[in-house]
Structure 1
Amino acid sequence: MSHHALVVLAPGCEELEAVASIDTLVRGGIQVTAASICPQGRLQITASRGVKLVADVLLESVAEQPFDLILLPGGLPGAEYLRDNPLLIHMLKAQRARGGWRAAICASPALVLAHHDLIGPAKVTGYPGTEGQLPASGFIAQAVVVDEPERLITSQGPGTSMAFALAAVRVLEGDTIADKVAAGMLLK
């Protein structure tokens, strides 16, 4: 059975984090749906550095669909759009309640997850400078933090996006697949 991940794209998201995540998940055999939360209802969004990204669907069309992982790229103002989208927050709360995996990178752990009290006792990291918005008891200053009990993966930013995405492949598909993907991408 193939796992299914949702990657949520917002205007102003960090393109490297979004594309690296989507690409790495697909290489790991994971079905990926990229969903736009563009306020104008468009599939195409303009990312933080001006790169145009095209989502598969609007978030509304997959809101009732179960996902093994919901992944949030960071970037500004992308993380703010994520934070302010009630449907996405509802989906993240439901994902946490049912024990599904969540992943957030860069500004998203602080601006989205912490803002909506979606971290709980998890160990987390985030973009340097956002530590004050994350629970002090759970903050770890490292590239990627995987909290198995809370089913949460967090990471610091663009330069850690490959390790972040590989951590997602590892939790969904296992070490063998993750190592194979890493080797194929010349990361091992």
Structure 2
Amino acid sequence: MSVLVLVAPGSEEIETVAIVDILVRAKIAVTLASCCPLGQRQITASRGVRLVADCHLDELTQCDVAAIVVPGGVAGSEVIRDTPQAITLLKAQAALGRWRAAICAAPVVVLQHHGLLGDAHVTCHPAFQAQLPPAQCVRARVVRDDTHRLITSQGPGTAIEFALELVRVLRGDEAVLAVAGPLVLP
């Protein structure tokens, strides 16, 4: 089982690293793919932290993954939104009925922008919630919509909960407990 995590210049580092770390702890293979317009693997995240992706999106020869995850950060979300290959992968993932997940600004800036939310119940960073239709916006920290195979979350402070929800849908409750316990999470 594997997960693709998209990252770009300006992606939120806490969200990106927490997602990758939690998934790896749950024994899920993760590919961190750069959407950097210059084809680079190294990106500078939203607060200046440098992250090195496993590959550039252009290097992917196939994308048969259980989930595609989009961290937030406004600038990073805008780059991912404007990367045609990333959007093609997200649309294909939705068409196959496979999991997609987005946090912070990404649910609105990336998914909503490209019509990838459908009528799913979602959340996002509070600064973007007004851009969601009221009937669709849930003000919870993490929202899982099983019908649309979509998980969304609010921001850096919810990143671990968000990643654990990904673990839950991909590996089950026992895997969540195995990861959360040593982290001293409630």
- The bucket for the TM-score relative to the shorter chain is over 0.9
- Which residue among 10, 17, 20 is the counterpart of 2:18? 20
The one of 179, 182, 185 equivalent to 1:181 is 179
Equivalent residue for 2:141, pick from 134, 140, 143: 143
Per the normalisation by structure 2, the TM-score is 0.98
Shift of 1:135: 3.0
CA RMSD of aligned residues (A): 0.9
Cross-structure match for 1:78: 76
Matches within 5 A, 1:23-38: 23-38=21-36
Matches within 5 A, 1:23-172: 23-62=21-60, 64-172=62-170
Output one character per residue of 1:4-57: Cα deviation in whole Å (capped at 9) or x when no partner. Answer: 000111000000000000000000110000000111111100000000000000
Residue 115 of structure 2: SS of its match in structure 1?
coil
Q: 1:73 to 1:178 in 2, by over 3 A?
A: same
- Distance, in Å, in 2 between the alignment partners of 1:42 and 1:129 is 30
Is residue 36–residue 45 contact of structure 1 (8 Å, CA) maintained in 2? yes
Measured after TM superposition, the shift of residue 121 of structure 1 is 1.6
Query: Quick one: distance in 2 between partners of 1:122 and 1:184?
Result: 33
Higher mean C-alpha displacement, 133-142 vs 168-177: 133-142
Alpha-carbon offset, residue 106 of structure 1: 0.2
Q: How many Å apart are 1:63 and its aligned residue?
A: 5.6
State the identity as a percent: 52
Q: Secondary structure at the match of 1:130?
A: helix
SS at match of 1:80: helix
Query: Does structure 1 conserve the Cα–Cα contact (< 8 Å) formed by 2:103 and 2:124?
Result: yes
Is there any run of 5+ residues in structure 1 with no aligned partner, and where? none
- Provide closer, same or farther for how the CA distance between residues 125 and 63 of structure 1 changes in structure 2, counting only shifts above 3 A: farther
The answer to whether the 8 Å contact 1:114/1:133 transfers is no
